[in-house]
Amino acid sequence: MRSNNNKKIANIFYVFLLIQPILDLLTSLMTRFAGLPLTIGMIVRGLFLFGMIIYLVFINKSVHKKKSLIYLAILCIFSILYIITKNGILSLGFLKTEVIYLFKYMYFPITALCLINVFDEIKLEKEKIFKICIIEALLYSILIIMPEITNTAFSSYLDDNKGTVGWFYAANEIGAIMVALFPFLYYLLFEREGIIKIALIFTIVILAMTLLGTKTSFLGMLITEIIYALYFIFNYKKNRAYGLKWSIIIIVISFGLIPNIPAVKNLQNAISESSHIKEEVKEDNEKENNKYASSSPSVQRIIKVALSGRDKFFYNTLEIYDNANIDDKLLGIGFVNRNEINNKRIEKLIEIDPLDVFFHYGIIGFIIYFSPLIYIVYRTLKSIFKNKFRLSFFKLTNIYVIGIITMISMMAGHVYSAPAVSIYVSFAMAMLDSALTKGELEITKERERKKITIFALHLGFGGVEKYLSSLCKMLEDKYEIEIISTYKVLDKPAFPFSDNIKITYLIDDKPNKEELKQAIRNKNIINIFKEGLKSVKILCLKRSRNIKAIRNTYSDYIITTRYFHSRLVGYYAYNNIIKIATEHNFHNNDKKYITKVIDSIRSFDYFVVVSNNLKEFYENKIGKTKCIYIPNVIDNLPDKRSKLNNKNIITIGRLSPEKGQKDLIDVFKMVNKELPKTKLFIVGDGPLKKELENYTKELKLTNKIIFTGFLGNKEKEKYILDSSIFILPSYTESFGLVLIEAMSYGLPCIAFDSSDGARELLKNNVGILVKDRDKEKMATEIIKELKNKNGSEYSDKGYKYCQRYLIDNVKEEWFNILK
């Protein structure tokens, strides 16, 4: 239910972002032709802001919620103090003006804050947002070009400067928006989209940005083109040639348009007019007694051209600020002329956003306002230096959008004070925070071979651990492989790994679950306390060290073997890594377990299961994650086969309740009465070992049942060759690799049909399946096989059947995934 709600909320954000060009178009037409004080843009964006605040306060469950609410409370307290410290608070005109400016300016930090929480909890898809931004850039461009073609466009300027804003209103705001959207177009190069698509989209957008006539759009476009060309040269390896080729083509086209671009002509006019500035500067300074202005005409000329005359507004505002009282310096001089100010020039903004925020909202307001941005910048710089200036495409784009828009705010304004523009900075900040917090592929250095990182719980005894050994043998010739094991339960892995496999242990210890249980059974308070503290420590380290390891993994692929790791990888692994979860356990219709497995792999690319039954069960339950059946394997066929003449029975597996060894002991008791010379070899180790040994003593079968403990391959082979039949007594088994291993030695196999793996492997008369866990029937079948003087028909059948599970016959299925 919550997942469906999150999708609905995510769609609201996608739609809101997508309709921005329409809102700006309607706002422009309402302002130009209706002269209404309240536009559709203000209404929709206001409702969106209100909805986000409701979400943040009452619905949000993000890890950022507490800090966000504190910041929101500080912002509210500041806003109240800001208004009540100004005389004229009871004036409707005063309140109206100040509230409108509060809405315009505070829109940015509040939306940024809310979006950071949304990205953390709802998991908005950055790829979808990038595509939406490309669509928006096209919409804005079409609504600039079409009016120009139909001769219905509005001019960007009221004076003689050239440029068209299409059907929109403010050229500077639209220019800033286009600059914010332009970097997202490079996603087309990142994804190697078709030539026609790339050429068409870039041509339309570049044409629109050149028609605007603003320095902002023109210079922003050129800077973006150069930055991304450099990125494809020095940083990004994937599709480098393709991206670089198109980046150069785009730059050449843009520079080729320079002679005819309105913005260039406007800039030339501004430089030409600035040649007369010497006398103007002298006259202005004498007339206004401007003590702040530079006396150097050359300096003034540069400032006037760069700031388009905004230096005059800056000096005026600075003078007002200097003469203000301490309250106004701390909390801002405001936007309305008051008795304390007594200067009508206060109502004219500098149009340099950081300066406007500083003067009009004071020192305290400036610090509060920009603190989220400063925090993001700090985290970003830390990440950049940590990763030696190597950035992913997604992270670069968000950093660049924040940087270029902030630069525009310092040169032309109309960014942080314009919700229509600041919304893009808010989205970029939220995506960047998500990348820094949850992870995104940071280092894109090229390797000779692609790298796989496998997260394992331990490398001790068990089917999963045997599976990992075989998996590494399959893949190590083509891939660089690293195993990160949570626990170190043995001095060396129980199963063989070549020296090419890098193994890292996160905790040089093993879980103390059994020790804690024993202390509780013994009612030893000291040991309970001691083992309890150790258990808590291990559990904390288990989570924290895995998270750290995942965040520091820059591989091409991650493979997990348990849902514990899958859940953490889904949340913290870099998004550009291909994630593959493997499932080895049969679910036994345990709804709680099934839910945990499904929830843990929602963001994974592949879900590899070891049986067809598991595939049929999960494939329609896991959304976009692709479910693939790849069976377990045996490394090779043994050199020897059992001669089946010693009439002994063998079972291999972890000694635990679900493996059913106690039932096998009961079965063997019946067999032993009929065949007293027969022995049972129980190979393996586990928590049930002592209980099974004691049960064997009770039945007086100590000399007949041999517990070997865990054995290496050579020692295990001796017992297999000394046996004539293999028994799998498991209650559940997702695959049953031991059956395949037994078949490879020519042993006939018998199993209870309660095991899903046994049912799949022994069907078609490859072995014997005993229904309903009937022990007497099992004993009868064993006796029948052991008494068969002509040899078992299942020996040859099993030997031929097992060969389909050899490494060489299965590894291509893994290579198909890892292409």
Quickly count: other Cβ atoms within 10 Å of residue 215's Cβ. Answer: 21
Query: Does residue 510 lie within any of the structural domains?
Result: yes
Contact 202, 250 (CB under 8 A): yes
Q: How does strand 164-166 pair with strand 154-155?
A: antiparallel
User: Who wins on pLDDT, 448 or 459?
Assistant: 459
pTM over the 0.95 mark: no
- Res. 232 pLDDT band, cuts 50 70 90: confident
In a domain, 91, yes or no: yes
Measure CA 381 to chain center. Answer: 20
Torsion, Cα 585 588 592 597, to 10 degrees, reads 30
Quote the CA–CA distance of 816 and 812 in Å, as a whole number: 6
- Positions of E strands within 685-787: 705-709, 725-728, 749-752, 768-770
Highest mean pLDDT among 11-25, 429-443, 511-525: 11-25
Euclidean distance between CA atoms 598 and 624, whole angstroms: 11
Domain boundary at 410, 438, 466, which? 438
Question: In the structure encoding, which two tokens stand for residue 79, read together?
Answer: 């806003």
Same domain, 229 and 125: yes
Co-location of 727 and 774 in the same domain? yes
Do 617 and 698 lie in one domain? The reply is no
Say yes or no: 50 and 187 in one domain.
yes
> Looking at the predicted structure, is the pLDDT value of residue 718 above 80?
yes
For 411-426, the pLDDT digits (tens) are: 888 899 999 999 999 9
Q: What is the C-alpha separation between 311 and 292, in angstroms, rounded?
A: 10
Q: Would you say residue 350 lies in a domain?
A: no
Note the pLDDT of residue 442. Answer: 42
Report pLDDT digits (tens) over 386-411. 766 667 788 889 999 999 999 999 88
Predicted pLDDT of residue 443: 40
Question: CA-to-CA distance for 494 and 492, rounded, in angstroms?
Answer: 6
Is there a single domain that holds both residue 758 and residue 623? no
∠ CA 81-82-83, nearest 5°, is: 90
Calpha distance 203→665 (Å, rounded): 78
**pLDDT tens digits for 617-672?**
999 999 889 999 998 888 889 989 999 988 899 999 989 998 999 999 999 999 99
Are residues 248 and 369 both part of a single domain?
yes
Residue 133: predicted pLDDT: 96
Residues 60 and 69: beta-carbon distance below 8 Å:
no
Per-residue model confidence (pLDDT) at position 524: 86
- Residue 776, classified by CB atoms within 10 Å of its CB into exposed (0-12), middle (13-18) or buried (19+), is exposed
The rounded distance, in Å, linking the Cα atoms of 139 and 136 is 5
367-371, 434-438, 763-767: lowest mean pLDDT where? 434-438
pLDDT of residue 238: 52
Q: Are residues 199 and 96 in the same domain?
A: yes
CB 719 within 8 A of CB 708: yes
Q: Which two tokens stand for residue 154?
A: 């509005």
* Shared-domain flag, residues 220 and 117: yes
- Domain membership of residue 341 (yes or no) is no
- Residues of the chain above pLDDT 90, percent: 51
231 and 273 belong to one structural domain: no
Q: Are residues 240 and 269 in the same domain?
A: no
State whether 212 and 271 are in the same domain: no
Do residue 544 and residue 499 come from a single domain?
yes
Tell me how far apart the terminal alpha carbons of the chain are, to the nearest angstrom: 35
Over residues 274-328, the pLDDT tens digits come to 555 445 545 555 545 555 555 555 555 555 545 555 677 888 888 888 888 898 8
Q: Is residue 636 part of a domain?
A: no
The SS3 of residue 290 is coil
User: Which of 438, 472, 498 represents a domain boundary (last residue)?
Assistant: 438
CA distance 718 to 639: 12
- Residue 384 domain flag: yes
User: In this structure, what CATH number is given to the domain that contains residue 719?
Assistant: 3.40.50.2000
Average pLDDT over residues 676-691: 93
Q: Among candidates 501, 451, 440, 494, which has minimal Cα distance to 130?
A: 440
Q: pLDDT-derived band of residue 45, with 50, 70 and 90 as boundaries?
A: very high
Helix, strand and coil percent figures for the chain, each rounded to 5 = 60, 10, 30
Residue type, 136: E
Please tell me the distance from the alpha carbon of residue 265 to that of residue 263, in angstroms, as a whole number. Answer: 5
What is the overall mean pLDDT for the chain?
86
Domain that holds residue 55: 2-256+364-438
CA 700 to chain CA centroid, nearest Å: 59
DSSP per residue, 328-360: HHHH---SS--TTT--GGGGS--S-HHHHHHHH
Q: How many residues does the chain have?
A: 819
Q: How far is CA 510 from the centre of its chain?
A: 30
| Residue 608, pLDDT score | 95
What gap in Å lies between CA 568 and CA 325, rounded to an integer? 54
Beta bridge partners of 487: 507
Q: Which residues pair with 1 in a beta bridge?
A: none
pLDDT in tens, 74-93: 999 999 999 888 877 667 77
Looking at 414, 438, 462, the residue that finishes a domain is 438
Query: Looking at the domain assignment, is residue 164 inside a domain?
Result: yes
Among 423, 421, 324, 428, smallest CA distance to 380 is for 428
Into how many domains does the chain fold?
4
The pLDDT of 562-571, averaged and rounded, is 91
Res 147: pLDDT? 95
575 CB burial (10 A radius; 0-12, 13-18, 19+): middle
In a domain, 670, yes or no: yes
pLDDT exceeds cutoff 90 at 47: yes
Give me 491's structure tokens: 């001095």
Averaged pLDDT, 3-28:
90
